[in-house]
Structures are given as C-alpha cells and as structure tokens.
Structure 1
Amino acid sequence: MTERLILVLDEGTTSTRAILYAPDGTRRGVAQRELTQHYPRPGRVEHDADEIWRATLACAVEMVAAAGGADRIAAIGITNQRETVVAWDKRTGEPITRAIVWQDRRTADQCRALVKAGHEPLVQTRTGLVIDPYFSATKMHWILDNIPEARALGDALAFGTIESWLVWKLTGGAHLTDASNASRTQLMALEDRDWDDELCALMGVPRAHLPEIVDMTGDIGRCDRALLGGAIPICGLAGDQQAATIGQGCFAVGDTKATFGTGAFVLTNMGAQLPRSQHRLLGTVLLQLGGKRTYALEGSVFVAGSLVKWLRDQLGWIDRAADTEAIARATPDNGGVYLLPALAGLGAPHWRPDATGAIVGLTLGTTRDQIVRAAMESLAHQCRDLMEAFAADGAAWQSLRIDGGMSANDWMAQDLADMLDLPVERPADVETTALGAAMLAGIGAGLFASLQEAVAMRPATRRFTPALAPTDRDRRLAGWHAMLARHLN
C-alpha cells in the first residue's frame, strides 16, 4: 500500500513553510518563502495578507508535487503566528488593508483606556488574558475605526487570524477558526464554545465579522481542487505555541515547553483546570478535541529571535544568527553589562507595552562581544522571571522542553539550564510547531487514534543539566533585577 503523507502549512512571523511528514514523523520535504516585514511607523508591524497567501500556496504546490500528487496527501494541518489580524471582503476574498501583526503596538492607548475604565478584571477573568495591544480584539477595533472600507462593508467584512485567512482561501469561503486561536482574541471566554457577546460589545467588534469556532482536529474543510489538484481535507488547526506544546508531547498536567522563535513562549499544561493567574501570566486553550478542552498557563516574551535579527540587521555586529553561539562561548562573562530586550515592549510577567530597550553597565572597557553575550543572557533572565511567576501561580516547573530555531544554540540551551537550575530537554528536530500540527492532522485523518499514539512522531531528545555555581547564578540575577528596577519603575 502506498504511504500517505501529512502536509503542514506553518505560517510564521518571518516566513511561511510547507512541510511533508510521513506518519512516523520523518520529514519528506520542506518548501519555504520569506515574508516581507512592514514597519510603517514606530510601534507598527504589518504583513501583506496577499503575500502570505501567495507564498503559502506556492510552498504547498511544491510539496504536493514532491509527494507525487494530491492523492498522496492524507490531510493538511495548519499552524500559525497567533493574534495577527486579517480583514477581508467576503464577496471578493480580498484583504482591505495589511494584516496587523501580533508585535504591533498601535492600540496601546485604547488598551490603557480600557484598563483605566476598570475593564481588565472582567477581561482577565473571562479570557485568561491581560489587556494589551498583543491580542486581536483591539486590532480589529482599530481597523473598524481607521479603515473606511471596513464599516462600509457591513456584514460582508470578515475578520480572522492567519489560520482563518488560509482556510478561507484554501476552501473558497469557509470562515472558521479553531479554539486555540480564538482563545487569543479576547473575544471568547475560556469556559465557552462561542464568542462572548459582552466582550464583543466591550471591544467594539460585531460577531457578524467573526468566524465559526471549531475543534482543533477533524474534517475541518476541503481544499478547492483547482488549487492543489485534489480536495485534500484540512484536518488540523492550532496556534503555533499550542502546536509546539503538542509536538513536545506535553500531555500530562505540569508538562512545560518553551519555544524560541521570533519571541519566546512558555506553556504549562493545566489539564481541565481553568488557569487563573495572580502573577500576570495568561490562560489559554491548549487543546479542544471532540468538544473537550485542555488548558495551559502561558508566559509570553515578545523579543527572542528578533533580538538576534536586530544584532545582525540593524547593528551589523554578527553576520549570521549562528555567530551568537561562538561569541557567547568565547566571551568569559558579560563584563557587568545587561541588556533589556524591550524592542517591542515587554510581555509577561511585566506587561509594559511602553517599555523600550536599554543597555546598562557600559564602560570604556566594554566590548561588542560582551554586549552580544548580554543579549543572549537576557533570554535566560526573562525565562527565570517567568519560572518564578509560574511557581507563584502553583505551576512549578520540574524540567523544561525547548524548541524553535534559536534552541539549536547549544550555549543558549545550557545557559537556560544554568539560570533556571533545571534540566532542559531539546528534541533532535527543534521544529516541533509543525510536528504538532502534523499530529493533529494525523488524528483528524484517522492515521492515529489519539495524541498518545501520535506522539510516536516525536524525535529523540538531548538533555542539558545545570552546571553553574549558585554564586554566579545569584550574581547575574542580582544585576538583572537591578536593571529592571531602574528601568521599569
């Protein structure tokens, strides 16, 4: 019998990819296209939704051909950058403005007004989310207020996050989102299965513009035959961080993963318990299968891989991202330098959209390499802050599973183990976001009976154990906390 493959569409912040997986987890092909980043004003980050669609379709077509045709594809899984908002005309299927990316801060004033008016306790209790420009609802409201065509379209206006946009284009008009992405909009209560009328009214987003919320696996839709040569079923949808948690096999309560991509995102499985944070962490839907939900507690760091990109593209201090490992390894210490990587505000547990980056401790003897090392150290420092917040919320980490492009850096993985004083595990294939989407699609297509069966796709792992002297750990943390106190008060 001819082996049937799983096609994953992995829609990231800086690129889109299509990846072919065999049911045993082996990759059979990858196609990738870079995405243009638009920064029209300070604090604004945009993508061209048409470019996303064209790039995604081109990658998918390439992988279908590599598979030997659409009949070789059992299912499609989609995973995506979360919170990014696309607005389009339902009649034409064309976007009416650029997509507003999750990193965008243009709605900071609206968020401050909502907090000042006393609405954050309601929003946090219902959705598990703090009020911040990061999330989708205020982006949708901004489009309604600032793009004349949006209100003129009336009920013909469609809003969606990236997976919703791709499903619409692939199917020729199905307006759907999955529960994991819906939980990031601030328009769905964690306990409910549909949009919340009170939240929609508060955020000024009519329900008529929103997609239907569905499970994360199942027969979600069928591709238009004209696009890929066959009506391939879409059988898995998940936001990128939920997909990575699934790909890491975090199915037991307390299992924790951290993904290091453009940003860094930590999720701890909370089971059926609704996550209620007292320390500025987020509650989110981890899984919805057959209408049954599993939740996660989440900490979001906005700048991780984008910090390395800044060192390379804006400062010209490195030629390749991989150079950071050699520099950090060859530089004995940070020379008293600390870097606050607030290039897009600060996320959890601080939630300071107004914060900007800073470098402290500079002297005439400071070297470029010490600043680069301080930048890399800031990732472990931020994760330490998150670890302490998770523990205070009753979700202490016993170990940490890491993935994402940055996690391939051995020095960074060891630094995390050292600063967290915990074992850190990394899979041989660090792209677990796409793997999680493949697992969901495989379940939806009947290739696996359960997540526990699908986890056989997960590769072997490498373990990093703490090796730093406690005095050195304490010294670094003291410098980090002193810098935070100076710049955030």
Structure 2
Amino acid sequence: MVHVRELNPARFEDALVNGGPSLNLDGLLMKPTAATPRRLPDDAANFHPHHEVHLPQGIIETEEEEKQHWFVGSIDQGTTSSRFLIFNGEGDPVASHQIEFENLYPKSGWHEHDPQELVSSVEQCIEEALRKFADLGHSKSDIRSIGITNQRETTVVWDRFTGEPLHNAIVWPDTRTGALVRELKSRDGSESLMDLCGLPLSTYPSSVKLLWLLRNVDSVKQAYEEGRLAFGTVDSWLIYKLNGGAKAEKPVHVTDSTNASRTMFVNLRTLQYDDKLLGFFGIDKSKIQLPKIVPSSDPECFGKIASGPLINVPIAGCLGDQSSALVGQCGFSPGQAKNTYGTGCFLLYNVGTEPVISKYGLLATVAYDFGGGQKPVYALEGSIAVAGSGVKFLMNNLGFVDESSEITSLAESVPDNGGVVFVTAFSGLFAPYWIDDAKGTLFGITHHTNKGHIARATLEATCYQTRAILDAMEKDSQHKLESLAVDGGLSNSDLCMQTQADITGIPVDRPAMRETTALGAAIAAGLATGVWRTLEDLKEVNRSGRKIFQPQMEKAKAEGMFKRWEKAVEMSKGWVQED
C-alpha cells in the first residue's frame, strides 16, 4: 500500500521549500505523484492530525517507510526503576534510558516509594533518552506522542490544591494492611465484592491501602475531612505532575480503565466508580478527588507534557504494566495469553468483551480499553510468587552458580530432573492454589541427586504453576488456549521455554525484542495519534525474529510429570501452623 505521509510540523516547511519529484526527507525517498489531499495543518505550529490540506508534488511514501519515520515514546514506571523508551512505527526501540530509585522499607512488611522521586526519575529518563535519540540524528518533533505504563495497585495521595504528596506511596506488595483485610472480610457484604469488581479482598488492591492511610496518617485524614485529598495510582500521579500539577490551568487528574480496575472501587462492567464498593470501604466521594476514568488510548484525555524536552507532546496512552505486556504481545484475540517471567510470574488471558468472574482462584481485570466506540476487552489474571527469584535463591543462598544466566547450563548438565520436584512455596503458593500454609519443599532427593537435578526442578516448578493457572483460565473462560506469548528475564532460557511448551502441550512464542511492557504503552499512544490506525496495522509489529517452542514431549509423559507436581503440592501443605 502506498499513501501520503502525515508530515510532522518540523518537516512541513522543508517539504514546501525543497519539495519536488526526487524530494528526500530524513533519507526516505519520496515517489513522484500528483498533489494529493492529506491531513496537515495550514499552520505547522498548530499541527493536529485531523486538519486537512494539500501537499505539494512528491510527498508520498510507502506505509513501511512511514512507520520507520514516526516515533512514539513510552514511560515504563516499575517497582524498582523508571525507564523511557522511544519506539519506531515498526515497534523497534531506538533509544532508551533507565534509572533505579530507592525502595523504602520503614518496617517489616512495609514497602514505600517517594512520590517525588518517581516523577524526577521519569523526567531524567526522558532527558537522557532524548539526548541519545538526537545523537542518532532524530528530532524531538519526530515523536508523535507518548504512552505510560506503570506498577498498578501502588497508592499515592496528595493535596489537590498544592499538588504536594501527603505520604510516601504505598507499593503494591506492601502487607501492612493484613489485619485490616481480616476485619473487612468479616463485614456484611464482603462476599459479594468480587462479583462487582473482579478482585478478592486482600492486601493488594489500592482500596485497603487508602483506607489504612485514612486511619493512620493525620495529614491524610485532615485533607480528607477538608475536601483537599486527591487519590490515584502511579499513572494518575505521573500524568498529573507531567501536565504541570496544581499549577496547570486545568489540572489533569485521570486514570485509565486497566489501572482503575485494580482499585476495588470500580464496577468491572460499567467501568465507573460503584457506590456500593465505595460505601463498603467508607469512602465519601464528596470528600476525596478520585481520578476520572478514561479509555487506555485517547489523543486528548491525558493532556500533554508541560515542561522539559518533550514540552507540548501529547500523552495519548496509558496501561497498567501487565495489561501493557499483553498489548505489547498483540494478544488481541480471546484465548491468547501472555506470561511475564520476572521475579514472579504474571499471566493474563484474553477472555473477550465480557468479564469472567473466576471460580478457580483467578482475578478478573481489564485487559485494555481503546475507546472510540469499541468495547473494553477483559482478562483473567493469575500470579506466581516465585519464578526468577527461585533462580536467585539457588545462586545467592545455595551458591549453585555465580550468575543467574548460568542456571540453564547447570540444568542441562543432566538429562532430566532425576525424580526431584521442587515446590517453590517460599511464601505460600499463589494462583490457582492460594495455599498460605505451604513452604518451599524438595521431594525425591536420593544419593543420585546433584545440583543439576535441583536446578532443572527449579525451572520446572515455574512451568508447572503456569500450566495450573492456564488450566484454570481455560475452565473459567471457556476459551481454548491457542498459544502462550512469553517475555521477562527467565524467558531467555531455551530449556525453560521448551519445558513450558512440553508441560502445557501448546506452542510457546518468544519475541526477539522483549520490551513488550513498554511497547504496549507505545501502541496505545500510537493508536490514538495515527501512528497505527487499526489493530490490523499491528500484525507485523515485533514479529521478526520470534522463536516458537513446539511441544516435543509425549503427552502421557508430560501428564505424568504434572500429576507428580500436584501430588508434591498437596504434600507441601501445613508447614506453617499457629502456635
């Protein structure tokens, strides 16, 4: 397909002055054609993609060339670091910068971030990545928009008049709310919450973190009583500050549907705040400013950068990190699933346009919501506590290897697990088992057992738990699993991914470019600003160099291994007992 490119303002004047049948812009050869109507501003400084003008002769290029020219930025704000990446229209990262920041642990089980440091780390990453981008010969004006992806349930509160945070952010794995959760579970109506919001009562959602702050931090309680309190997850806080915060003419306080669905305040079907849910937690909407819920992809709702090297560039996309990874893997069809193998594992399974409330120990969440009259898409989610951290345990605690990358070679030093099964329940087992009283347990040790067998059993443990979650997802969703897209550090192990394919009996699809979480946010922003027009345009994004691991093990053998795993899980129960 050949069509005229939507030129950016910085290149428009050059095109008018220097245009002709052999015009070359940024090394892209333009093919001669008659003057063609195309969207461009009369005034380049007020560029907007919906303006219509005529381009001079010679301004035409192939769709592939156009994709190479436009760029989208992506803020990836995680638990331990912030990053900014710049992707081209083919989904390839061309420049990036990453900064680690301090994680605060003021008490046992407490986990906090300095909200101001989250913002400053993002701003520094943008500056450094833009410097690298310029060194490659590109201009800021080549970046059409930026997207944001973020750690999800982490909770931030601030004064909506001054814009100053009222407490450190409480990070998603923080467990200080354990006693509060037990209290809430005893309340009337607690058993019906999951049907409304898709989440069970636990220490994870933002709701219990906010309630703890209201009960225990005087400045937060006072701001609430005086109507000054603003609440948000990390996406809301970053968008608010990047738009200028309280100093902005119209402060921007929004969140997207994927992040909103992790608060326990939102009805999963209407994607609006639910009075019954707010009432259960005792939240009075008149005393607190909650972020407006908007689609994950929109050219205007998220505002634009107020200062710095990307001033006036629109923020056009926002997705919680696990949803963003699913989008980055282009998991747009029901039955598609992705697994991110990080410290733990997070699996998201696309169930289509109707939410599925799990009966098998999973969470229901919004996968993505691209707006524009399209229905939101939902997912089932399951988490595994130990994946890459199991490898680190062998390295740091037992001294099996010096580098985590060496674990695969150690596991390959033996032909199989030698009968060893390792239930890596270091802090109980998560989905779909939810066994709190299990502990890490090795079964099948004999005089024959060596380090290689234990290393292989450690990798297999993640694969078995993934299989258990995927089985539960298929039962809940009634969708047959088609394939499993993978990313994250442990996905670098060919042995682990081949084992995953063998245990699940389905192909495992690993991309060459594994920055899928950041890519998902870029896709959301790019869809809103014309870099990609439809999901169909994304079918070739991040497809080159993918490796497909096909099942090779006999089905009967794989089933036997999985049954032995499930027997080991049963035997690992009951190690934690109250005195």
Q: TM-score, normalised by structure 1?
A: 0.92
Give the equivalent residue in structure 2 for 1:58: 124
Contact residue 237 and residue 437 of structure 1 kept, 8 A: yes
- Computing the radius of gyration over CA atoms, which structure comes out larger, 1 or 2? 2
AA paired with 2:209?
K
Name structure 1 gaps, 5 residues minimum.
Answer: none
**Structure 2 residue 295 is matched with structure 1 residue 215:** yes
504, 513, 536: which one pairs with 1:452? 536
CA distance in 1, matches of 2:189, 2:416: 45
Post-superposition shift, 1:4? 3.4
After alignment, is 382-391 or 202-211 more displaced? 202-211
CA distance in 1, matches of 2:303, 2:127: 15
Q: Pick closer, same or farther for the CA change 1:269–1:141 going to 2, 3 Å.
A: same
Contact residue 256 and residue 267 of structure 1 kept, 8 A: yes
420, 429, 434: which one pairs with 2:518? 434
**Structure 2 residue 179 is matched with structure 1 residue 96:** no
Give the equivalent residue in structure 2 for 1:330: 413
CA distance in 2, matches of 1:27, 1:319: 30
**Structure 2 residue 142 is matched with structure 1 residue 72:** yes
80, 84, 92: which one pairs with 1:26? 92
Give the equivalent residue in structure 1 for 2:268: 190
What SS does structure 1 have at the residue aligned with 2:75? strand
Q: Pick closer, same or farther for the CA change 1:52–1:375 going to 2, 3 Å.
A: farther
AA paired with 1:300?
S
Q: Pick closer, same or farther for the CA change 1:403–1:336 going to 2, 3 Å.
A: same
The Cα offsets for residues 337-381 of structure 1, whole Å up to 9 and x where unpaired, read as: 433333454332123456554444455664444333322211101
**Structure 2 residue 562 is matched with structure 1 residue 477:** yes
Contact residue 64 and residue 73 of structure 1 kept, 8 A: no
Percent same amino acid at aligned positions?
37
AA paired with 1:293?
P
Post-superposition shift, 1:231? 1.2
What SS does structure 1 have at the residue aligned with 2:85? strand
Alignment of 1:73-472 (within 5 A): 73-117=143-187, 119-154=189-224, 155-173=227-245, 174-207=252-285, 208-218=288-298, 219-290=300-371, 292-313=375-396, 315-352=398-435, 356-362=439-445, 366-393=449-476, 394-460=478-544, 461-472=546-557
CA distance in 2, matches of 1:37, 1:339: 30
Q: Pick closer, same or farther for the CA change 1:378–1:209 going to 2, 3 Å.
A: farther
Contact residue 443 and residue 454 of structure 1 kept, 8 A: no
What SS does structure 2 have at the residue aligned with 1:36? coil
Contact residue 299 and residue 349 of structure 1 kept, 8 A: yes
After alignment, is 233-242 or 52-61 more displaced? 52-61
AA paired with 1:181?
N
Post-superposition shift, 1:18? 0.8
The Cα offsets for residues 60-98 of structure 1, whole Å up to 9 and x where unpaired, read as: 111223333532321011111221222233344333333
Q: Report the count of equivalent residues.
A: 489
AA paired with 1:19?
L
Contact residue 439 and residue 457 of structure 1 kept, 8 A: no
Q: Pick closer, same or farther for the CA change 1:40–1:306 going to 2, 3 Å.
A: farther
CA distance in 2, matches of 1:209, 1:311: 47
Q: TM-score, normalised by structure 2?
A: 0.79
The Cα offsets for residues 150-203 of structure 1, whole Å up to 9 and x where unpaired, read as: 112223222222211211221122221100010111110111132112111212
CA distance in 2, matches of 1:411, 1:392: 28
AA paired with 1:83?
E
Post-superposition shift, 1:100? 2.2
AA paired with 2:97?
A
Q: Pick closer, same or farther for the CA change 1:445–1:354 going to 2, 3 Å.
A: farther
Give the equivalent residue in structure 1 for 2:16: none
After alignment, is 463-472 or 175-184 more displaced? 463-472
CA distance in 2, matches of 1:28, 1:116: 52
What SS does structure 1 have at the residue aligned with 2:301? strand
CA distance in 1, matches of 2:328, 2:335: 16
Contact residue 71 and residue 230 of structure 1 kept, 8 A: no
The Cα offsets for residues 271-296 of structure 1, whole Å up to 9 and x where unpaired, read as: 22221221122211112122631111
Q: Pick closer, same or farther for the CA change 1:344–1:163 going to 2, 3 Å.
A: farther
CA distance in 2, matches of 1:88, 1:223: 21
AA paired with 1:24?
E
Contact residue 7 and residue 76 of structure 1 kept, 8 A: yes
The Cα offsets for residues 264-317 of structure 1, whole Å up to 9 and x where unpaired, read as: 122222222221221122211112122631111222223323333444455554
CA distance in 1, matches of 2:434, 2:347: 15
Contact residue 261 and residue 271 of structure 2 kept, 8 A: no
CA distance in 2, matches of 1:350, 1:114: 22
What SS does structure 2 have at the residue aligned with 1:395? coil
CA distance in 2, matches of 1:324, 1:378: 14
Contact residue 421 and residue 444 of structure 2 kept, 8 A: yes
The Cα offsets for residues 402-433 of structure 1, whole Å up to 9 and x where unpaired, read as: 12232122111111001111111111112211
Q: Identify which of structures 1 and 2 has the higher relative contact order when contacts are C-alpha pairs closer than 8 Å and 6+ apart.
A: 1
Contact residue 242 and residue 307 of structure 2 kept, 8 A: no
